[in-house]
């Protein structure tokens, strides 16, 4: 347990050092920020994360990269058409992934893909903000769930 805390402290202090561009005049604030990050990480970290399957990683990365590029082109096309052609909306979708890392990865992956933003994740579903609700968002979410299921393996 002490080793885990020491590694986290080094990680957060190292991140601070990188963000501060190697300057040492902010170390008192670094100590406070590192302590706050340590506290938050212990409170937010999932107790028993399910490890990913390395065999599923290339497929997930290819899926994510392809859909990020496709989504970026799609959003650029929407932007060129103008604001009046968009139909932004909040949509609710059921989530089939079990609670934990797989769901969090799904929300974060959706938020990184252009045109969607995860707003709320609750026990039974997900609320997304989308730029255009005429797009096949639910099909894309189901495809992402399938890719994440492959990444994490068969879910219990």
The single residue listed with the structure tokens 């609750």 is: 122
What are 103-140's pLDDT values in tens digits? 888 888 887 777 888 888 888 888 998 888 888 888 88
Chain centre distance of CA 137? 17
| H helical segments located in 82-132 | 101-112
Enumerate residues 6+ apart whose C-beta is below 8 A from 112: 64, 68
What are 18-27's pLDDT values in tens digits? 888 878 787 8
pLDDT of residue 1: 63
Helix (H, G, I), strand (E, B) or coil at 56: helix
| The two structure tokens encoding residue 105 | 């990865």
What are 98-113's pLDDT values in tens digits? 887 888 888 888 877 7
Of all residues in the chain, what percent carry a pLDDT higher than 90?
1
Identify the burial level of 126 via C-beta atoms within 10 angstroms of its C-beta, where 0-12 means exposed, 13-18 middle and 19 or more buried. Answer: buried
pTM: 0.62
């Amino acid at each position: 347990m002490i080793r885990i805390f020491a590694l986290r402290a080094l990680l957060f202090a190292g991140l601070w050092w990188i963000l501060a561009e190697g300057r040492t005049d902010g170390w008192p604030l670094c100590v406070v920020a590192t302590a706050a990050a340590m506290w938050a990480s212990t409170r937010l970290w999932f107790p028993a994360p399910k490890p990913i399957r390395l065999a599923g990683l290339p497929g997930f990365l290819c899926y994510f990269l392809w859909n990020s590029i496709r989504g970026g082109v799609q959003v650029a096309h929407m932007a060129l058409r103008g604001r009046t052609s968009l139909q932004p909306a909040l949509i609710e979708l059921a989530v089939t992934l079990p609670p934990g890392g797989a769901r969090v990865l799904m929300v974060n992956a959706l938020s990184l893909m252009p045109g969607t933003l995860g707003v709320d994740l609750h026990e039974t579903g997900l609320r997304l903000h989308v730029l255009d609700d005429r797009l096949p968002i639910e099909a894309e979410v189901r495809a992402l769930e399938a890719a994440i299921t492959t990444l994490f393996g068969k879910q219990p």
